[in-house]
Amino acid sequence: MISAYFAQCLHRTLPKNNTMNWTTENIPDQSGKTALVTGANSGVGYEIALALYKKGAHVILAARDESKLTEAMDKIAKAGGTGTLEIGVLDLSSLRQVAEFAVKIKDSHTRLDLLVNNAGVMTPPESTTAEGFELQFGVNYLGHFALTGHLYTLLKNTDGARIVTLSSGGHKMVDGIDFDNLRLEKPYDAQREYAVSKLADLLFMAELQRRITLAGDHVISTAAHPGVTESNLARYMDEEQLKAGIEKYGALLPAWQGALPALYAAVAPQVTGNDFYGPDGKYELQGYPAAGEMSAAAKDPATAAKLWKYAEEATGLTFPKL
């Protein structure tokens, strides 16, 4: 997947750095705020949770494995910070479990300032979610659509709330959504299906912001991607392809740096709805947060609307109330 991403990067123009090497030192005080980060037990999600905790936020770490969550929470607490922590077991591959998780959050919290839709799976063996969707589409997009929908009222009722959805530069590897292949109706292509899921994430971000604006709600929907970052996300990748990509384009970003675009989207005061951030370096593979480049397919309103309707039918959720 990364090697394919490297290849497609050669054919695009990169934005200029516009955030002046922004780092976690630039995060304003988050005291009194509540943030929920999916996939917070490792990698980019862990670093996002850690940075917000250090700045005073109450951070809900969400992931599938309770023991790994507990380990991550203990590690973050030992790092020192002024925030507070809790964990919640969340399996994004089951819409039923997503709904159950959301009920627990709503029952125990009166505000949600930040939802970071970070968790994901990349190029796994052919598999499906509990409801029969291709796993990457089901987890990366549909599970987060459902989570956002279940928690939307909580977000809406929190002044200045933001929803940050993690995508990938790899979304450019496809030029649209094949609605006839979201349940593995066609022969499986792991890289293509990953790209579709990440394109879907950007379409979700944009359509959500459009609907938020129409509803008159004061919530920001934005997105980010980490570049090419060290994480467990790449555990299914071919080692030789990964090595070749690193030799040609440079070392992988450490997770703390890969987390910066999402953190910028989450807290920087100048962020607005429908923004997209990634690293500012060559091919958006490395560097510090800057405006990212979305493909034409990711900005197609007709596809975004069609995908939203598909997700509504799959989840039974309709939000915001227009």
Annotated active-site positions, please? 167, 194, 198
Q: Which two tokens stand for residue 244?
A: 């070749």
Contacts of 59 (CB under 8 A, 6+ apart): 34, 35, 36, 37, 40, 49, 52, 53, 76, 83, 84, 85, 86
**Inter-residue contact 140 to 200 (CB < 8 Å):** yes
Closest to 176 (Cα-Cα) out of 6, 8, 314, 298: 298
Cα-flanking dihedrals φ and ψ of residue 14, to 5°? -100, 145
Which DSSP string corresponds to 87-129?
A: EEE--TT-HHHHHHHHHHHHHH-S---EEEE-----SPSS-B-
Cα-flanking dihedrals φ and ψ of residue 37, to 5°? -120, 120
Residue 229, SS3 per DSSP = strand
Residue type for position 88: G
Q: Within 10 A of 316 (CB to CB), how many other CB atoms are there?
A: 11
Residue 178, SS3 per DSSP = coil
